[in-house]
Amino acid sequence: MKDKNFLITNGVAVDSGIELLGDINMYNQIMGEFQKSFNDRMANIKTYREMSDMANYAIEVHSLKSDSKYLGFTALAELAYNHEMASKAGDITSVNNHYNELITEANRIISVVNSYLGSGDTTNNTPPVVNINQSNSSDTVEVISPKEVNMATKAILVADDSLIIRDFVKEIFSDSYELLMASNGQEVINIVSSNQDKIAAMLLDLNMPIISGFQVLEYFKENNLFNKIPVSIISGASDKESIDKAFTYPVVDMLNKPFSKENVKLVVEKTIDYGNI
């Protein structure tokens, strides 16, 4: 179908998503990634709620909130945010009382997505993904190798809780760089500790679970890592105060919306070049 008016009629703020992602083709592609990950994501949310594991539940709904916001699923983003706040506060009663609202809206949205994109298989040409278990068994780091294997290939570390942003950067650079993906600050520290010499640049989201982007910046400062790994900030919707605070650290640049391919390439290449100075 891919009728923009169909999305608007169903309460999707599609124009804000297109503004962020640059154009309708990239918007559709990223929505396809949301579609493919939906069942696994909702299964994780269900499992963590049933286990009363509010720490991991908060991480999952935080990611759902971020991706929903990027795609213009405003109502789902708001519900996911409320669940994130409740779970962070350990308010299991509130999570349980409003769980059906979250699931109902999530199911409505995926129905809209399936109708818009078509519910069949969505294929892509991205390289295989390998999961590497870190010392903490709950942490999984996603590694995407370049299609043409080159032992000297440098890596780009993308640190963002949003699957959408990680996939966006992966789509652009997976042919020429190894990509290391982190969904929270703890994963960043784990990756950096074992891959420091191969990382040519890092894109860092400020608002991540477990350990925030600011805590990662402080870790870099305390361990003198900025000269070894140049860092640029991903800013989807960060407030001015947060951005100003980020630039008190020696970051190279900031990736602003819209996240067009040209904009991402410009910032990443500038960040890599900074490390070669």
Is 31 within the bounds of a domain? yes
Last residue of a domain, one of 82, 117, 152: 117
Residue 45 lies in a domain: yes
Domain-embedded: residue 202: yes
Q: What is the DSSP-derived secondary structure letter of residue 239?
A: -
Residues 170 and 40 reside in one and the same domain? no
Q: 139 with 81, same domain?
A: no
- CATH number for position 27: 1.20.120
- Asked if 190 and 87 sit in the same domain, the reply is no
Are residues 104 and 14 part of one domain?
yes
Residue ending a domain, choose from 52, 82, 117: 117
Q: What strands lie across the sheet with 199-205, from one edge to the other? A: 129-133, 140-144, 178-182, 155-159, 199-205, 231-235, 254-256
Residue 123 lies in a domain: no
Task: Tell me the CATH number at 166.
Answer: 3.40.50.2300
Round to whole Å and give the CA distance between 222 and 224: 6
Question: What pLDDT does 138 receive?
Answer: 41
Which residue segment(s) compose the domain that 83 sits in? 4-117
Q: Looking at the domain assignment, is residue 122 inside a domain?
A: no
* 244 and 148 fall within a common domain: yes
Same domain, 151 and 232: yes
Q: Do 83 and 110 share a structural domain?
A: yes
Our count of domains for the chain comes to 2
- Predicted pLDDT at 240: 78
Q: Is the same domain home to 28 and 162?
A: no
Do 70 and 183 belong to one domain? no
Q: What is the pLDDT of residue 174?
A: 83
Single residue among 63, 89, 117 that ends a domain in this structure: 117
Q: Are 143 and 110 found together in one domain?
A: no
Residues 109, 162 within the same domain? no
Q: How many CB atoms lie within 10 A of CB 119?
A: 12
Please check whether residue 124 lies inside any domain of the structure: no
- Same domain (yes/no): 141, 188: yes
Contact assessment for residue 208 and residue 152, using Cβ atoms and an 8 Å cutoff:
no
What is the full per-residue pLDDT of the chain (277 aa) written as tens digits? 789 999 999 999 999 888 877 789 888 988 998 999 999 999 999 999 999 999 999 999 999 998 999 899 999 999 999 999 999 999 999 999 999 999 999 999 999 999 999 864 433 333 333 332 333 334 445 655 554 444 347 899 999 988 888 888 888 888 889 999 999 999 999 999 999 889 999 999 988 888 999 999 999 999 999 999 999 998 765 567 888 899 999 999 998 766 778 888 999 999 999 867 6
As to burial, measured by CB atoms within 10 angstroms (0-12 exposed, 13-18 middle, 19+ buried), residue 79 is buried
- In 3D space, the residue among 219, 222, 202 whose CA is nearest the CA of residue 210 turns out to be 219
